[in-house]
């Protein structure tokens, strides 16, 4: 997959070459996204997805998460929310803009807004200031 | 249903930056200007959160449709015809790519598509030191069609499921979505 770049003549800030969508999800979700054309297998037979089932150890999920978030060719990481809950400490400590982490629902575990990292931050932000805007009368 | 997944990623970025907790510096006009700016920030944050929730609902609906179609296809074709045992491990490039534009370590826009994106850089963008990457065109080759892993004759429900999962990601527009450019 070739990529052409065009940069400013004034300065050239560093930009990652991100192009793939990585996936950590259950079998049906991975199958669906592979049908859509997300799957990538390199010459070393390394894939951009991890299929998680009941026998998958948490260590394997952690290793996959760390691998996908450190690869230069990954732009977005899709992870099922129930799997994200297993490695919540990793996701909460993740601060980089690329790859973007997107939690998606799974077939057996509907999306729960209570566990969404962004919504939790918004909730915390507003709950930490119960008196309202400072100085307003 | 437009690219719900990619829109959610952008909305999450926007909400992240607006909830960074940064308060505008106090101006010489006193507290009013600061409070007004803070209120605007909060409103923008809430709008982003509302948009995020709408996109999440759309994403869940599309994914549910895809899983339902896949269940129907598995019932029609047999459970052994659809599963991880049929995933191809032969070296192959992804058919879907993402083009990320960044400025000073901040993501400016996500562009998603199958064809080459002719990133037009105008003078304004040059001054903003934006660096764009275009994606090489992926000619749809029948040999690289993902569906071929599941056999030559597949259930129409499987094609419908494929369409649902493509809809989750597909972004047919060519213009760039400006991301939040500055924190408050």
The pLDDT of residue B184 is 24
More confident position, B22 or A91? A91
Query: Looking at the complex, does the CB of residue B118 fall below 8 Å from at least one CB of chain A?
Result: no
DSSP lists the bridge partners of residue A104 as: A80
Q: Which residues in chain A have their CB less than 8 angstroms from residue B66's CB? A: 32
Instruction: Give, for all 137 residues of chain A, the pLDDT tens digit.
Output: 333 333 444 444 444 454 788 999 999 999 999 998 888 898 888 999 999 999 999 999 999 999 999 998 888 899 999 999 999 999 989 888 888 888 899 999 888 888 877 777 778 777 765 554 444 43
Sign of the C-alpha dihedral computed for residues A88, A89, A93 and A98 taken in this order: negative
CA distance A9 to chain B (A): 7
Reported as a single tens digit per residue, the pLDDT across B25-38 is 555 567 888 999 99
Closest CA to A119 of B125, B116, B51: B51
The pLDDT of residue B4 is 53
Reported as a single tens digit per residue, the pLDDT across B151-161 is 777 888 898 88
More confident position, B108 or A4? B108
- Asked if residue B122 has pLDDT above 70, the reply is no
Contact check, Cβ <8 Å, B83/A122 = no
Q: B12 pLDDT band (50/70/90 cuts)?
A: low
Q: Which residues in chain B have their CB less than 8 angstroms from residue A76's CB? A: 5-6, 9, 98, 110
Reported as a single tens digit per residue, the pLDDT across B167-181 is 765 433 322 333 322
* CA dist list (Å): B27 to B17, B34, B35, B61: 22, 7, 10, 46
Query: Which helix (DSSP H) or strand (DSSP E) does residue B100 occupy?
Result: strand B97-103
Return the residue matching tokens 């200031």.
A129
Contact check, Cβ <8 Å, A97/B70 = no
The pLDDT of residue B81 is 84
- Specify the pTM: 0.70
What's the rounded Cα separation, in Å, for the pair A98 and B105?
A: 9
Contact check, Cβ <8 Å, B63/A45 = no
Reported as a single tens digit per residue, the pLDDT across B36-65 is 999 998 898 888 888 888 888 888 899 999
Q: Which residues in chain A have their CB less than 8 angstroms from residue B184's CB? A: none
CA distance B133 to chain A (A): 5
Query: Looking at the complex, does the CB of residue B119 fall below 8 Å from at least one CB of chain A?
Result: yes
Q: B10 pLDDT band (50/70/90 cuts)?
A: low
Candidates B145, B146, B151, B182, partner chain A, best to mutate (most A CBs within 10 A): B146
- Asked if residue B5 has pLDDT above 50, the reply is yes
The pLDDT of residue A97 is 82
| Cross-chain CB nearest to A32 (options B6, B16, B70) | B70
* CA dist list (Å): B122 to B99, B158, B175: 18, 43, 13
Reported as a single tens digit per residue, the pLDDT across B160-169 is 888 888 776 5
The pLDDT of residue B106 is 52
DSSP 3-state of B42:
helix
The pLDDT of residue B167 is 75
Query: Which helix (DSSP H) or strand (DSSP E) does residue B166 occupy?
Result: helix B156-169
Preceding amide of A99 cis, omega within 30: yes
Query: Looking at the complex, does the CB of residue B23 fall below 8 Å from at least one CB of chain A?
Result: no
């Amino acid at each position: 997959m070739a990529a052409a770049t065009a940069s400013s003549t004034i300065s050239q800030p560093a930009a990652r070459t991100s192009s793939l969508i990585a996936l950590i999800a259950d079998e049906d979700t991975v199958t669906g996204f592979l049908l859509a054309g997300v799957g990538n297998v390199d010459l070393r037979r390394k894939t951009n997805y991890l299929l998680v089932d009941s026998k998958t150890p948490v260590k394997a999920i952690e290793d996959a998460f760390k691998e996908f978030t450190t690869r230069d060719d990954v732009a977005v990481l899709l992870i099922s929310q129930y799997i994200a809950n297993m490695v919540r400490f990793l996701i909460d400590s993740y601060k980089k803009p690329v790859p973007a982490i997107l939690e998606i629902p799974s077939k057996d575990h509907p999306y729960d807004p209570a566990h969404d990292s962004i919504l939790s931050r918004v909730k915390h932000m507003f709950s930490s200031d119960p008196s309202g805007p400072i100085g307003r009368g | 249903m437009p690219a719900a997944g990619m829109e959610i990623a952008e909305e999450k970025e926007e909400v992240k930056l607006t909830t960074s907790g940064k308060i505008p510096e106090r101006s010489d006009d006193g507290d009013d200007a600061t409070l007004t700016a803070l209120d605007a920030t909060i409103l923008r944050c809430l709008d982003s959160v509302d948009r995020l929730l709408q996109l999440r609902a759309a994403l869940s609906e599309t994914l549910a449709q895809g899983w339902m179609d896949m269940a129907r296809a598995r019932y029609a074709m047999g459970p052994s015809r659809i599963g991880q045992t049929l995933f191809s491990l032969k070296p192959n490039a992804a058919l879907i790519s993402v083009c990320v534009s960044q400025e000073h370590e901040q993501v400016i826009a996500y562009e998603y598509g199958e064809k080459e994106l002719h990133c037009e850089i105008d003078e304004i963008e040059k001054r903003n030191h934006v660096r764009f990457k275009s994606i090489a065109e992926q000619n749809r080759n029948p040999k690289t069609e993902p569906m071929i892993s599941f056999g030559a004759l597949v259930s129409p429900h499987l094609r419908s499921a494929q369409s649902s999962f493509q809809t989750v990601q597909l972004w047919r527009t060519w213009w760039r979505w400006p991301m939040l450019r500055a924190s408050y």
